[in-house]
Structure 1
Amino acid sequence: MRALSTRPQRPRTTVAAPEAVVAENLLLNQPAPTAPHQVWVGGISPTCR
């Protein structure tokens, strides 16, 4: 059995920009959390061209 796709599949890759800067990890200098929901993190990524 195989699934039928209505559109062709194209591979997606990430190409890093050479001028991109890695953000500093601000949690490294903080005390460890002692209970749930004390530290929340998130991220964003640029859209593909």
Structure 2
Amino acid sequence: MEPATMKTLAAAIAIGLGALGPGLGIGFIGAKATEAAGRNPEATGKIQT
């Protein structure tokens, strides 16, 4: 492969892996908020703010 192709491919992989962590983190936050609202529906207002 040519160096320019390798550079582009490496950048795409780095961006993809860099977006993976925050995406998982935000997903876990949403999952736990939904779980907490299911356990205690009265606290839903506090959880969503």
Same fold (TM over 0.5): no
Q: Which has the higher contact order (CA 8 A, sep 6+)?
A: 2
Q: Given the two structures, how large is their TM-score scaled by the length of structure 2?
A: 0.26
Q: Given the two structures, how large is their TM-score scaled by the length of structure 1?
A: 0.26
